Structure 1
Amino acid sequence: MKKIFLLITILLCINYCFAQKAVEKKTRLTDFITERYQTIIQTDKQIKQGTYNALYEKKIVIANGVYTNNKRTGTWHFFFPTGKLLQNYNYTTRQLLYEAPEDTTSTIRYMIDYPVTEKDTTLITKPIRLGGRYYGYVPYFRLFKLPADMQNSNTQQIEVIMELLVSPLGRLSDFKFHIRYYNDKEDVKLINVNTDLLSDEDKTFIPASRDRKLIASRILIRCYITRLDGIDIY
C-alpha cells in the first residue's frame, strides 16, 4: 500500500513539473514587430512568466521586461525603432522613472480643452502612455482595418490619424481613426473602435494635468499604411 501511495505521489510530482515547464513563444504583433516570451501552463491556461522582448524587424529591442504570473513586474524599458530610449516604467511600484523629451519632429499631438497663450504661466503636463510613444500604441495599431473601398487603392496616398480620448483618471474612454486621401480634405472616413477590445493595461495612461489638477485630453497620432495594410507611426 505504501509503495502504491509513493508511486502515485511521484507521478503527480512529475506531472506538475511538466505542467510548470517554461515554453518559449514567438508571436508577430505587426508587420514589423515580433515578441518573444516564456509561458507556463496552469490549469490549461498559458501564463506569461519570465523575460519578455519585443523586436522591431527581428533585431531592434523596443520593449524589454519581466512577467510574473501574467503581469508585468519590475522596471520595463521601451525604445523607438531607432534604438532611442523612450521610457522606463516600474510596474511594481507604478512609478514613471524616465520619459524622453518630445521635440517638434514628433508626429504625436496633444489637445486639452484649455486655451494656452505664450504668456500663460499655467503648468500643463501632457498625457503619457505606459509603454512609451511607440510600443505603447502597438495594441492600437493592431485594431486598424482599412475600409473595403480603399483596399485596392494606392496606400501611399492615404493618411490615417489615430485619435484617443483620455479621461482625467488616465483611462482610454474613446478611440477612433480618421482616414482620408491626401488630396481630399473633405471626405474623411471616421472609424470608431470598441475600447473593450483592449485589455485594462492597454487602456492605462498617466493623465494630463493643469496646475496639478488631472484633466481630460486628446492624443492625435499621424500614421501611415504598411505593406500589409496595417499602420505604423511616422
Structure 2
Amino acid sequence: MQNQDIQELLEHAQAEISSISEQSRNGAINKVALKNTLENLRSVLDYAAQDIRSKLKAHIGNKVPEKVYFPYGQREDLFKQSVNRNLPNLLEHVPSIYSLVQSMQSFKSGDPWLVDLCGLTNDAKHNNLSKTEHEKSRVIYQGGMAFIEIVGEVSQVAITGNRVNGVLQDDVFIGPDGTTRISPVSGQTLIIENNKIQFHGKQIEVVPFLNACHKNLSKFADDLARELERV
C-alpha cells in the first residue's frame, strides 16, 4: 500500500497544478504557488527515500544515515555517489529497489525530468522564486497545412496570394495591436494561438513539465509500494 503521506502530497500537488494551469491561460503564474508545487513534488521523492531507508535498515542497521535524500545524478557516477551517501549498499541488499530508482535517472531513461525537478526546487528554495517567461505565438494553417508561425509581438503581418496545391488561399492581416482580419477566398484558414510559459533561461514549459513530473512520481510511488511489500 502506498505511503499515505505520499498519496496526500500527490493529491495536493495535482490540485496545485490544475490551478497553475488555469493561471497560465492568462499569461502569468503565481511564483509562490509554483515554488510550493515544486517542493511538494520533491517531497514525494524524499518521503520515498525514507521508506527505502526503513527497508534497508533491516539489513544493515545503523549504517544507514538517519537523514536521507532521494538519490539522483545526471551521470551514472554521480548517481552512484548519491546512493552511497544516502542509501549505502542498496544495490547489494535490495537490488530490485536500486533498479527502480536507477530507472528514473536521466542517463537511464533519456529524460532529464528528475534532475530538472530537483534543480528547479533547490533554486526556488534557496536562491529565489522561480522566474518564468511568457511566449505568445500563433500558427496560421491554410489548406490544412501549417503555413507560418508568429512568435512574440510583431508590428504587422500580411499574407496575400498564397496557394496550396494550386488553390488560392485567404488573405490574412494581423495589425500592430494583434487583431486579425481574414479576407475569405478559399475559407481554409485556421489560426491557433498558444500561450507558452517557460522557466526563465530553460526550454522547459511549466505546466507540461509539472504534469509529467506528477505522472512519473505517481507511477514510481505505486511501483515502490509494491516492491517494498514484496522484498
**Please, what TM-score do these two structures have when normalized by structure 2?**
0.27
Structure whose residues are more often strand by fraction: 1
Which structure has more RCO (C-alpha within 8 Å, separation ≥ 6)? Answer: 2
Structure whose residues are more often helix by fraction: 2
Structure with larger Rg: 2
**Please, what TM-score do these two structures have when normalized by structure 1?**
0.27
